[in-house]
Structure 1
Amino acid sequence: MTQTKICFIGAGFHATTNIYPSAIEAGATIQAISTRSIERSQAALLRYGSTGTAYDDVSQMLQNEDCDGVIVVAQPQDQTSLALECIKAGKNVYVDKPLGWTATEAAEIANAAEKAGVVLMVGFMKRYAPIYLKLKEQIDDGSMGRARSFQMRFAVDSTPFCKDEEQFMKLAAIHMVDLMRFLFGEVQQVTGTTIKDGEHINQSISLKFNNGVVGSAYFAGMSAWSRESESLLVTFDHGFVSADEINTLTIHHSRTSDSLPWKSLEEQDTVFTPSGSPMSGAYRDLYLRGFVGEMAHFMACCHNKALPHSSGKDNIGTMALCDTILAALV
């Protein structure tokens, strides 16, 4: 496994729970960590057994360290300025979503990275989750005909970190919004209805895509959903595919026969699931949610100077779609 020298900015809960262990699993060596306090940076290095350097000054780290890339997982309001600082220093950079609060801000950062000739990747891990990669294969290979329509559900208790609908859309539901674009392309029409009661949010959204796919999305940010839940059902010309949570993909090919399908065992589903054992530990979740996959992809792009699937340039479209949905909600 190729070792990649990575510097980190931020060591909060999400970073230390998901990003650090996934990067290490994907082959990263932690070269340095910068947080707001040297003690916190040192503690993070110790936690992951790194002999790297601790900083409490991002500028100093970027100046001193010669690394393959920088991973930024900070507070949303800080990530734009931190990404621009990394780009100015000539560093390849991965930034957790959202990168830029609007499409205009996203474009500013993407253009800066393009001008500097560095890799800029945004943290949309669902693009790298095995279940959605396999679903994407079904859409692209055409074996079931064209994708025609979909139903999407996403529910989470967003009340601790989202105080209004814009925060909910751009800090929580944004992953599903980006997933729509990844699977079905660009949107030409959006309508929707929203009900908001304090920090509790329920949204019903209808979308029409440029390629003729139509779909509906149900998004809920409610304390009722103490467990995060998601599902996606896609209807094709000759069957359907159902993605349930992050661990079960069911593929149903419609069949033609001289006898009616209910007269015999004509129907057939193919079900894909991961195995589970004590040996998988916590890494099973990191793989299935796409965190390890996106870290491996970022590091490969750094080495090859390749455009990431979830590039800064592509992120402009996701931020624009978030704003389009928000404007359409009544």
Structure 2
Amino acid sequence: MKKSRLCVIGAGFHATTNIYPSAIEAGAEIAAIATRSMERSKAALQRFGSTGTAYDDYKVMLQNEDCDGVIVVAQPHDQTSLVLACLEAGKHVYVDKPLGWNALEAAQIADAAEQAGVVLMVGFMKRYAPVYMKLKELITNGTLGAVRSFETRFAVDSTPFCKDDEQFMKLAAIHIVDLMRHLFGEVSQVTGFSNSNNEFISQSISLRFDNGIVGSVYFSGMSAWSRESESMLVTFDHGFAHADEINTLRIHKSLTSDLIPWQSLEEHDTVFTPSASAMSGCFRDLYLRGFVGEMAHFMECSRDRLTPRSSGRDNVGTMDLCDRILSTLV
């Protein structure tokens, strides 16, 4: 299959650590890179083995380059104007979260994409992480019955880049907020508590979904969590599933034997994990976190003009839920 020719706006740490290598691994060709510095753009092209064109003006790149899509990974306050320029140029766009700082801004950008008739995808990579894809499959196929409740945890040292509850919610915890919508649907009720102090974030949140599912959420953004951690425990009618640290999914089906359970070895769990190999290099992490999967999905949607799972329009719901959670924190 012909490689997708992608242009990229941005060459910061996240872009060069996660997005560029994932796009290339997914089968992309980097056709051009635009940053504020010609030297930086050239260095990024060289680093990733591209013979594409370097730019220090993204508008010139959009005018000159005939590509299959544009990746935008910039500072949050710059992304709205960058995406709108790409849409006006008729380009399919993948943009890192958050797209718009609130639901209103997100809706305006989604409107512009639909008016332009192009694909707009937002970077919520957890939707494409294998552990959560398998959990979503378990929820959809009903093997364990209906979901009743869940509890989830996300903890990370966000102090260098999040200075209050709102920044933490929209720059870090937003991935879990989006994942909850993806897995369980839309939310009807939210309550929350915060014990935050400036950049030291501690939040406890309860949610009820339209379908009756209830969930509890623990968010922490503190230097105490120098080891990033996340998990999701889901209780079904006939068992439970535990997604742990993005690399393990343990599924337990309710015991149906007539034997007394503590008298035998009737209980059993199914555990899914990736293999470990020196051959995986850094790509194992990029696959497990969902970066490679989302890049492959963007290229497929751009090629076939499909609506992405994490579309610009769907992003409006995620931004709205972020704002609703923040409004309840006391």
TM-score range, shorter chain: over 0.9
Report the Cα distance in structure 1 between the residues aligned to 2:297 and 2:42, rounded to whole angstroms: 27
Report the Cα distance in structure 1 between the residues aligned to 2:24 and 2:9, rounded to whole angstroms: 15
Residue in 1 aligned with 2:47?
47
Shift of 1:198: 2.8
Question: Which secondary structure does the structure 1 equivalent of 2:98 belong to?
Answer: coil
Shift of 1:263: 1.0
Letter aligned with residue 109 of structure 1: I
Q: CA-to-partner distance for each residue in 1:93-138, whole Å, 9 max, x for gaps?
A: 0000000000000000000000000000000000000000000011
Report the Cα distance in structure 2 between the residues aligned to 1:227 and 1:24, rounded to whole angstroms: 28
Question: Which secondary structure does the structure 1 equivalent of 2:180 belong to?
Answer: helix
Residue in 2 aligned with 1:135?
135
Report the Cα distance in structure 2 between the residues aligned to 1:221 and 1:244, rounded to whole angstroms: 18
Letter aligned with residue 51 of structure 2: T
Report the Cα distance in structure 1 between the residues aligned to 2:73 and 2:258, rounded to whole angstroms: 58
TM superposition outliers: structure 1 runs of 4+ over 3 Å: none
Report the Cα distance in structure 2 between the residues aligned to 1:24 and 1:113, rounded to whole angstroms: 25
Residue in 2 aligned with 1:61?
61
Number of residue pairs matched by the alignment: 330
Question: Which secondary structure does the structure 2 equivalent of 1:99 belong to?
Answer: coil
Give the unaligned 5+ runs of structure 2: none
Report the Cα distance in structure 1 between the residues aligned to 2:15 and 2:155, rounded to whole angstroms: 22
For normalisation by structure 1, the TM-score amounts to 0.99
Percent identity, aligned pairs only?
75
Question: Which secondary structure does the structure 2 equivalent of 1:224 belong to?
Answer: helix
Report the Cα distance in structure 2 between the residues aligned to 1:169 and 1:227, rounded to whole angstroms: 19
Question: Which secondary structure does the structure 1 equivalent of 2:74 belong to?
Answer: coil
Residue in 1 aligned with 2:191?
191
Q: In angstroms, what is the RMSD of aligned CA positions? A: 0.6
Residue in 2 aligned with 1:227?
227
Question: Which secondary structure does the structure 1 equivalent of 2:276 belong to?
Answer: coil
Report the Cα distance in structure 1 between the residues aligned to 2:91 and 2:100, rounded to whole angstroms: 18
Question: Which secondary structure does the structure 2 equivalent of 1:197 belong to?
Answer: coil
Report the Cα distance in structure 1 between the residues aligned to 2:117 and 2:256, rounded to whole angstroms: 53
Residue in 1 aligned with 2:175?
175
Report the Cα distance in structure 2 between the residues aligned to 1:42 and 1:316, rounded to whole angstroms: 35
Report the Cα distance in structure 1 between the residues aligned to 2:304 and 2:261, rounded to whole angstroms: 51
- Which range is displaced more, 311-320 or 189-198? 189-198
- Which range is displaced more, 29-38 or 194-203? 194-203
Aligned residue runs from structure 1 range 70-219, under 5 A? 70-219=70-219
Report the Cα distance in structure 2 between the residues aligned to 1:90 and 1:49, rounded to whole angstroms: 27
Q: CA-to-partner distance for each residue in 1:216-258, whole Å, 9 max, x for gaps?
A: 0000000011121100000000000000001010000002121
Residue in 1 aligned with 2:328?
328
Residue in 2 aligned with 1:273?
273
Question: Which secondary structure does the structure 2 equivalent of 1:79 belong to?
Answer: helix
Shift of 1:259: 1.4
